[in-house]
Chains A and B, each alone.
Chain A
Amino acid sequence: MYIDPEQQQGPLERHDVEQQNIIRRLRSLPQEIPQPYDWAEFQRRARERANADTLRGRSARWHAALAAALILVVVGIAVWARVTRPVIPLESHVPGNSKLPVTGSLPAVGAANEKRANDAERWLASLPSEPVVVRVGTRAAVTGLEDRIAQLDDFLSVARVEGAQPARVAELEQQRVRLVNSLVQVRYAETLVSASR
């Protein structure tokens, strides 16, 4: 009677034999496969890749140059706009300034303006530099007003140094007071919003 040797093996031995068979089969696979192409084709493909890499490099450099040029243009426009920003007549956009004295003798106006500006600036200085809740629109308005005040300060300094006419200095001071007033109003509104939260 024939007894199959595999039948006599336990599951562990059979498992090992199967595993060895698998490994033997894997190792029996050909170690070489004819290469897909010859040397000439290999070289042609290598050149093609090198060209593609060069093109890709060039394209990347071109894109970088374009981006740099764009940034330069944007920065240039921004700088130009800032330098050549026209001084808009304040009466056109400062609300609630009808109460401000726009007439009267120059020294009187100057004194009133100075007092008003000092009070407003003292109050502004007592505020934190930024409110608890920052709103983009309000912040932009505050920044804009602060910039304009700084610009007027420059004009005033120049006017005083160059000994400009008192009427011109008073006009500038008046504009400054209006701007400070507007800033006070906006900052006051901001503090109210912050307090209500």
Chain B
Amino acid sequence: MVRLVEIDISEELLRRASAGDEAARVVIYTATAPATFALVRRLIANRAIAEDLFQETMMALFERLPQFRREAPLGAWLRQIAVSRCLMYLRSPWHRARLHLESDGEVDIPHGLSALVTSPPAVESFDVERALASLSPTTRAVVWLYEVEGYSHQEIAQLFGRSLSFSKSQLARAHVRLREWFEPSEGRHTCTSIQSNSKVL
């Protein structure tokens, strides 16, 4: 499995694609689309919106291809486009309004409440995807960019247009939440049952 940043395309293919050769474009699309979509899906939990952003990213790729200067692999350049599109969406007022209206798993569940409102999977089959989905969109984006994509706090802060401490605090928050998910099930079940009992009482 190839990471998006590692995907590189030959000079010849890029030249043809820039000139509008459809066959070359199909090859580039086929090579980059799965990794691009995976990245977008990690950052945006809602599938329909992720598809929209994926479409926008790929369209931007082909539109801007003549400007690509090959200073890095094409995948790294594409990743920049995808990340910036996703963060632009996360920062948009439309998204914020949607968060208030919907509760489709993107809503930030208050700390400590997740054990009550969700049924975490067994220890043996931790569903990392679900754990990620339990985070708020911003927290999820920060933890993914930092821990997996290798962005620095400085870069993340710049991308979000926020301070360095914003990135650090979001990351710390993500780790706390994820640790809750991944901690041994007995402790959590006990905790949940106690909380449930107290709720009944």
What is the interface of chain A, defined by CB distance below 8 A to chain B?
Answer: 18-19, 21-23, 25-37, 39, 42, 45-46, 49
Contact = CB atoms under 8 A, between A and B. Distances in A.
B44 interface: no
A23 B33 CA distance: 25
A29 B126 CA distance: 12
Contacts of A46: 55, 59
Contacts of B182: 18, 21-22, 25
Contact of A45 (B55, B144, B183): B55
B175 A35 contact: no
B78 interface: no
* Chain A contact surface mostly: helix
Contacts of A29: 42, 128-129, 132, 148
B14 interface: no
B96 to A, nearest CB: 23
B200 interface: no
Of A19, A27, A33, A42, most buried by chain B (CB within 10 Å of CB) is A33
Given A31-B38, A39-B26, A22 B175 contact: yes
Interface residues of B, number: 36
B41 interface: yes
Contact of B38 (A23, A28, A32, A39): A32
A145 to B, nearest CB: 50
B175 A19 contact: yes
A25 B182 CA distance: 10
* Chain B contact surface mostly: helix
Contact of B29 (A19, A33, A42): A42
Interface stretch (B1-9, B114-122, B155-163, B185-193): B1-9
A35 B54 contact: yes
Interface string B12-46: 00000000000001100110011111100110000
A23 B26 CA distance: 34
Given A23-B147, A26-B144, A31-B3, 18 more contacts: A22-B179, A25-B128, A25-B131, A26-B132, A29-B129, A29-B148, A30-B1, A30-B38, A31-B1, A32-B1, A32-B34, A32-B38, A33-B41, A37-B51, A39-B25, A39-B26, A42-B33, A49-B59
A36 B26 CA distance: 15
29 contacts: A18-B182, A19-B179, A21-B182, A22-B178, A22-B182, A25-B182, A26-B128, A26-B144, A26-B178, A29-B128, A29-B129, A29-B148, A30-B38, A31-B2, A31-B3, A31-B4, A31-B35, A32-B1, A32-B38, A33-B34, A33-B41, A35-B54, A36-B47, A36-B51, A36-B54, A39-B26, A39-B30, A42-B29, A42-B58
Interface string B148-178: 1000000000000000000000000001001
Contacts of A33: 34, 37-38, 41
A14 B138 CA distance: 27
